[in-house]
Amino acid sequence: MPRVIKCGLIQAKNAAPTDAPIDEIKRINVEKHMKLIEEAAKQGVKILCMQEVFTTPYFCAEQQTRWYEAVERIPDGPTVNLMRDVAREHGMVLIVPIYEEEITGVYYNTAAVIDADGRYLGKYRKNHIPHVAPGFWEKFYFKPGNLGYPSFETAYAALEHRRILRPELFLRPARPDHRASASRRRRAGCGRFESRPDPRRAQHVAVLP
């Protein structure tokens, strides 16, 4: 196991017209990200995170019920199933943030975590939901998360999720962690995933720009 694991973050512009059908918007954005994931794989990235609700634009700047059509199930929805195949193909851990439907009318801002062999490891649901002007009407779309702050053992590092949001909106949530001191933690990717050093795995994390 190499001592340095390359981590990548995709922060991409919406690729579709915002007045297009929702399914078309999702398809176009997924296709764009497939190319970016391929490029990251060529650069040797082993842990890759995409931006919040990556299959659509950040629609919380408005309050329109049409965006409810963007929801998917996790892990059985089409995007997570596709990304499981992609992760397996590239031997890459993927953090996949999408608009999740638990049941009809119960929706979350969620990040699915997929291991390098394509296994679905679990998910984090965004806990703190901003609802402030201008442009953060998230309670119109999302319920607060109910899964706490889970950690995930991946092929390359142990990942712990703290939040999916703009950092200036909330203070970092307090959570005791006795498994590693703060000085030894390394952040990997967006959403404040953190990689804890593990003697069986990497000792350092290099975060790509």
In angstroms, the CA 151 to CA 161 distance is: 6
In angstroms, the CA 179 to CA 2 distance is: 22
pLDDT tens profile 52-100: 999 999 999 999 999 999 999 999 999 999 999 999 999 999 999 999 9
* Mean pLDDT to the nearest integer, 161-176: 49
* Mean pLDDT to the nearest integer, 42-47: 96
pLDDT of residue 165: 53
Q: Where are the beta strands (DSSP E) in 69-185?
A: 93-103, 106-114, 120-125, 131-132, 136-137, 151-153, 158-161
Please check the confidence at residue 192 and state whether its pLDDT lies above 60.
no
Least confident of 149-158, 165-174, 198-207: 198-207
Residue 178: CB atoms within 10 A of its CB come to 5
pLDDT tens profile 108-167: 999 999 999 999 999 999 999 999 988 899 999 999 999 999 999 999 999 986 656 544
What ranges in the chain are assigned the alpha helix state H?
A: 22-42, 78-90
* Mean pLDDT to the nearest integer, 47-52: 96
Q: Which domains does the chain have, with CATH numbers?
A: 4-207 (3.60.110.10)
Angle among Cα 62, 65, 71 to the nearest 5 degrees reads: 105
